[in-house]
Structure 1
Amino acid sequence: MPNLRRRFLIAALSLTALGLVRHAVADDGYRLWLRYDPIVDDTRREAVAAAVPVLVLTTPSGTESPTIEATRRELQEGFSGLVGRVPEVRVRVGAGVDEALGDEGYRLTSRGVADGGGIEIRGNGDVAVLYGAFALLRRAQTGEDLARLQVVDTPRVGRRLLNHWDNLNRFVERGYAGFSIWEWFNLPDFRNPRYRDYARACASIGLNGAVLTNVNADALVLTPYYLERVAALAEEFRPYGVRVYLTARFSAPKEIGGLDTADPLDPRVIAWWDEKVAEIYRWVPDFGGFVVKANSEGQPGPQDFGRNHADGANLFARALAPHGGIVMWRAFVYQPENEMDRVRQASFEFMPLDGAFLPNVSVQIKNGPLDFMPREPFHPLFGSLQHTSMTLELQITQEYLGHSTHLAFLAPMWKEVFEADTFARGPGSTVGKAIDGTLRGHPLTVVAGVSNIGTDRNWTGHPLAQANWYAFGRLAWDHTLEAETIAEEWSRMTFGSEPATVAALTDILVRSREIVVNYSNPYGLHHIQARGHHFGPGPWVTGGRPDWTAPYYHQASEFGIGANRGPEGSNALADYAPELAALWGDLERCPENLLLWFHHLPWDYVTKSGRTLWDAIALRYQQGVDEMRRLAADWAALEPAIDPEIFANVSARMGRQVNDAIHWRDACLLYFQQFSKRPLPEGVEPPAHSLEHYMSINLRYVPGHPGDY
């Protein structure tokens, strides 16, 4: 009996580590949205149980592969948890390829009585069937009718990746949820169960790739010591359809290859990369390819040798092409000696190279032309590059939106990007269509998101930040989904289907990002965060290279505020289609949420509200504070419906966020008031401290930033 009890305890602990056991006391958030807790409503629970007595997995092979085993396990565990019954899962060979599904799409079909009842999940590959299984479980979790399913769903984008800015020492740059989950020292011998849970979570939202290392790359990851460990991670991810990618340091031939150059046109360098890539594929046969950051922020690149970005990208592309790999070449480039407006530099460097990149090159472009600001216009390259495949790079981790301390549901921001009209080929030429290949017919389509996960037990630090990981996956699969729909899905899957709770959570999520904009960067203000760590306000930041200072962007003076990007300023408007240049350049028609991005205006400029610009800015900061207080109160009202551990975690962060919103308002208004020389309007609370007090605050060792600032 003691041995039996010991074996049971070990098994229970193992299942808990895998997230497969319901938490009896408190929920620490580890299970993410894959909780599979019992459906409370008896009628709905019985309806779901009646719909899934038998589940048929139809694939071309019909074999019990590791992916099919994972699919069977997911379905049986999921429905066992949801309805208390374990469905029978059968595997059968499909009759030919279903052309409507492509490589990764799935079909869900309710089978008639004559066919034995239940639901068929069909795909043209095992991973497609896995995606279908997760979709079926999601529909059960969110209360959809499973009795008459006729669903076909295919991804709009081919490669849907998480970019991990993880260093080999396990520090995560711009990471706010602990250290990197990749335990390089323990690999390949010990494989943390978290690796499989990570891949499972990614597959549940349709993500099919992971870039394991920081864009500020370390060449050591390309050495055999690390490649053996990369291969172990790839093995863990493979059943869930998640391919591994790496970042490549351009100077690797010199640093680890013994060459005296990294010139992309040097035959020795070409031969070195050819062999290095071949070596990687010997370790990882389904390796996805490279992300490269070159000639930006001090990173080495082809311009160090008098070459251009196409020369550099094509070096990697030629080496990867025989193996089916791709290179994502980042367009986040700017040089301190370049006096051009920083938001124009990528267009200046990449537009002349349009069409010069090989077919397996995708230029990776941030959503906006600056740097993941709380709000900015879409990057002009999405409209101007005609002959080049493009990767949309989004930032899931909240570098400029309060880290993992503040709540900011980012789906509304990403929807702004996907739905933005570039006018590249007339009205309706949205960024989404430019990325998914429908606008220009590019076969290589990629969306990448900078990960927000780490070793924190709940993965993302802020429990509600899990919604951003979830939302990224859902939009990468289908960018036409509505932000509110995604928020409601996540809320139901994470906290249950009680209508009032779901409605309140959905509302809290959808409101949150605009609130952060209002109390930090309203009216198109940008890059006024504190230096280095970017947490909190820093409109006074000066010193060093100009484009790392705040006045470079807000240009506040006694005459007004804002960046003049029209013909009389930097003329960044010229990088966009004429329709947009005309719209944004016209003060009568320019959206006020981008007003100070494109225009330098006097303090007494009259806004659409009838107020002066100074009064409007001050009241918008106050609005952000008031909204944040209401958001915290709305969360507090949910206490009876939320697990105590999660409720306490979020409540503490909400309290900090309210105080931080006040800090933002007071610090920014006191700083800008020096120039406006106007009193705060009625309705704006007076600051509690002097400007000198706020400017003296010096946060040190802020998570996610390696320096001491």
Structure 2
Amino acid sequence: MRSGSWTRIVAALLLFTGILVRPDGARAEDGYELWQRYRALPAADASALAARAGSVESDEASNPTIAVAVAELRRALPTLTSGAATGQGGAILIGTPASPRIAALRLPLSRAGEEGFLIREADVGGRRTLVIAGNRPVGALYGAFHFLRLAQQGPLPARIDVAEQPRVKLRMLNHWDNLDRTVERGFSGQSIWDWWKLPNATDPRYIDYARANASLGINGTVLNNVNAKPDMMTAEWIAKAAKVADVLRPYGIKVYLSARWSTPVELKQTATADPLDPAVAAWWKAKADEIYRVIPDFGGFLVKANSEGQPGPQDYKRTHADGANMLAAAVKPHGGIVMWRAFVYSEVDPEDRGKQAYSEFKPLDGKFADNVVVQVKNGAIDFQPREPFHPLFGAMPKTPLMIEVQITKEYLGFATHLAYLAPMWSEVLEADTYAKGRGSTVAKVVDGSLEGHELTGMAGVANIGSDRNWSGSIFDQANWYAYGRMAWNPDLAPATIAREWARQTFTPDPAFVEPATAMMMGSRQAVVDYMTPLGLAHLMATGHHYGPGPWVSDLARPEWNPTYYHRADKNGIGFDRTKTGSNAVAQYAPPVARRFADRRTVGDDFLLWFHHVGWDERMASGRTLWEEMVARYDGGVAAVEGMNRQWAALSSMIDTERAEQIASFLVIQKEEAIWWRDASLAYFGSVSGRPLPQGVRPPAHDLDYYKAIRHPYAPGHH
């Protein structure tokens, strides 16, 4: 075989593992390895790590979860310490109290809880040993990943004594993946689940998916779209899900399924889907039994009902609680749960779409079964670039509520706009509901500490697909990472998470990490400013939500139209949600309602969400509202231009392949930020009748030009 042919074969093999060989022989990267690249540490750090963690031992290698923890450490440590001085080699002992050596140490594992871990150095058989222990194997696995995260952050501390446990019980990914491998609101290729080949063939990519999630403490995944198909509940498709569950199980990840409410009717098994019909309840109980026979640790069902045309119990004049409780009874004997989405809206409440979930669910507080958790979006509308926290948080003290956020950027520029979302999620989690006085934050509702709930959770709508870099772009990987870290601990600071991710994903060099972190931290605000400044929302074009469409007003239902949300006219702009309007503020606790209802205290971020404001009214900046809007749009564009310049200064510090992809996407973002700015100002200027302030660049085209733009094949729209 000629050497050129052999080189091509080796390159093809390395391509599968994310390691590329460039023609010049240098190592290239495509993002496949995510934050688990495990590159060699600086020599001093490598030597210090090798001195304390040169080998890995366990007395429980027969346990599948301990086995993968040992394998991960053995995979990572030789590379991380490849620059170490020879002749050194400390040991790691990993396991649970089932290990005689760990049991003999009498570690304070109560600090680790059921899923957490403890990492400390101890004397084991006369040898100084780094011990990673959990009460359960999954805790030890999480500890292994945490240790590797610490090792990549810089020199290890002289004394390691770490004890952590997750604050939230259910740390979920929701895949909106369809059975034909399309992904609703997905921007990274096809579904990761190759349903056509399952269950007879699996993809090694599933294991790397499991590794990445376990490294963050994610412990559950919903495999299919909330807009579910009845086929998912047939034996053929359950067998496919079971095969995925087998792969994910050693990594502590349970499989869940989205259930279509009308499944038994559509499969011609029952005459009705009425939750109070005994035949319907019996069918779902038998179906649950069938699933648990092949997936013994099946987590349960996620349900979207009576929303956006999906069937549900209200079709039979029953409540959401009636529906959820019927399914909960079916899975309860097996330890399963039901996650019932509170995302509901329809023409029954045309006054204000944002009020409907509260109106439907608040009266049901305390009426859900104890294995039901109500899944509530971070805001009351729909994953907008900025929303006030959902009024249901703090309003249902007798019901566990889990927060649902969108990792995929349906409304934030898809995969090509850099928007680090941890600041958005932190903004919501830190918000004070005042449900039980000051300090009743959304995070305390979500983690159960406010009302003493044990069934707690966070759900993230995934953007994980068949693209080699998993997420469509390198920086979108940071949102997956940040979601997992915040699901483990909702109080983690977004900047801290960004630094962790950047060090592992790119380089630990502070000259890169600090500017990159600053760029990430400002990115979401930039998107808000060039898309939906000052509390505006839902200005995106119809259906695909790609690009601006604030002029759209001809769709069949009022709440489908952007004009419904901004209500711009010649006098002003904004949705009046005070008592002179829809009075949505009344759904919040009185201190919050008073703050949002008062122009003096609502703040610029939510001004137009709660108030209709005159174009010439003065803002805190001293500018008129119209002048402030123009400044915000210009500021958003300027921020993206700054990100382009910043990346140009940083890109030489990492591999060429990823640097160039990021640079090309930032160019797209700049062009589209200008598009957003120009189209929006052209439209709002025509409505307001106000000229642009002196010295401001006019839009490149007239309004008709922007109205004529079409994107019939935008990704993620199904």
TM-score under structure 1 normalisation?
0.96
Match of 2:30 among 13, 28, 31: 28
- 2:56 and 2:74 in contact (8 A); partners too: no
Match of 1:655 among 638, 660, 667: 667
Matches within 5 A, 1:135-284: 135-284=146-295
SS in 1 for 2:559: helix
Distance across 1 between alignment mates of 2:33 and 2:188: 16
| Matching of residue 463 in structure 1 with residue 481 in structure 2 | no
- 2:19 and 2:27 in contact (8 A); partners too: no
The CA deviation at 1:258 is 2.0
Q: Which residue number in structure 1 is paired with residue 336 of structure 2?
A: 325
Per-residue CA distance 1:230-262 (angstroms, 9 max, x = gap): 110000001111110000000011112521100
Distance across 2 between alignment mates of 1:293 and 1:10: 47
Q: Which residue number in structure 2 is paired with residue 498 of structure 1?
A: 509
Match of 2:72 among 71, 74, 83: 74
* Equivalent AA in structure 2 for residue 69 of structure 1: A
SS in 1 for 2:613: coil
Query: Sequence identity, in percent?
Result: 51
Per-residue CA distance 1:264-293 (angstroms, 9 max, x = gap): 000000000000000000110000011000
Distance across 2 between alignment mates of 1:311 and 1:8: 63
- Between stretches 587-596 and 165-174, larger displacement belongs to 587-596
The CA deviation at 1:14 is 6.3
Q: Which residue number in structure 2 is paired with residue 100 of structure 1?
A: 111
Distance across 2 between alignment mates of 1:459 and 1:683: 44
| Matching of residue 623 in structure 1 with residue 641 in structure 2 | no
* Equivalent AA in structure 2 for residue 102 of structure 1: G
Matches within 5 A, 1:582-661: 582-661=594-673
Distance across 2 between alignment mates of 1:117 and 1:385: 51
SS in 2 for 1:244: strand
SS in 2 for 1:393: strand
* Equivalent AA in structure 1 for residue 34 of structure 2: L
Stretches of 4+ aligned residues off by more than 4 angstroms? 6-16, 18-24, 54-58, 85-91, 112-115
Distance across 1 between alignment mates of 2:237 and 2:393: 35
Per-residue CA distance 1:582-606 (angstroms, 9 max, x = gap): 1111111111110000000110110
Distance across 2 between alignment mates of 1:280 and 1:366: 28
The alignment covers a number of residue pairs equal to 699
Match of 1:672 among 680, 684, 698: 684
Per-residue CA distance 1:327-380 (angstroms, 9 max, x = gap): 000000011243231000000000110000001100000000000000010000
Matches within 5 A, 1:177-576: 177-543=188-554, 544-576=556-588
Distance across 1 between alignment mates of 2:665 and 2:649: 15
Q: Which residue number in structure 2 is paired with residue 53 of structure 1?
A: 54
Distance across 2 between alignment mates of 1:150 and 1:115: 19
* Equivalent AA in structure 1 for residue 543 of structure 2: G
- 1:110 and 1:146 in contact (8 A); partners too: no
SS in 2 for 1:381: coil
Q: Which residue number in structure 1 is paired with residue 16 of structure 2?
A: 17
- 2:175 and 2:224 in contact (8 A); partners too: yes
The CA deviation at 1:508 is 1.2
Distance across 1 between alignment mates of 2:465 and 2:180: 13
Distance across 2 between alignment mates of 1:322 and 1:645: 52
* Equivalent AA in structure 1 for residue 311 of structure 2: P
Aligned CA distance change for structure 1 residues 398 and 217 (closer, same or farther; 3 Å): same
- 1:166 and 1:172 in contact (8 A); partners too: yes
Per-residue CA distance 1:467-509 (angstroms, 9 max, x = gap): 0000000000001110000000000001111111111111111
Distance across 2 between alignment mates of 1:506 and 1:659: 23
- 2:114 and 2:139 in contact (8 A); partners too: yes
Distance across 2 between alignment mates of 1:68 and 1:226: 30
SS in 1 for 2:347: coil
Distance across 2 between alignment mates of 1:413 and 1:298: 29
SS in 2 for 1:328: strand
The CA deviation at 1:11 is 9.8
* Equivalent AA in structure 1 for residue 570 of structure 2: E
TM-score under structure 2 normalisation?
0.94
Instruction: List gaps (5 residues or longer) in structure 1.
Output: none
The CA deviation at 1:684 is 2.5
SS in 2 for 1:186: coil
CA RMSD of aligned residues (A): 2.0
Match of 2:127 among 116, 123, 137: 116
| Matching of residue 65 in structure 1 with residue 77 in structure 2 | no
| Matching of residue 134 in structure 1 with residue 136 in structure 2 | no
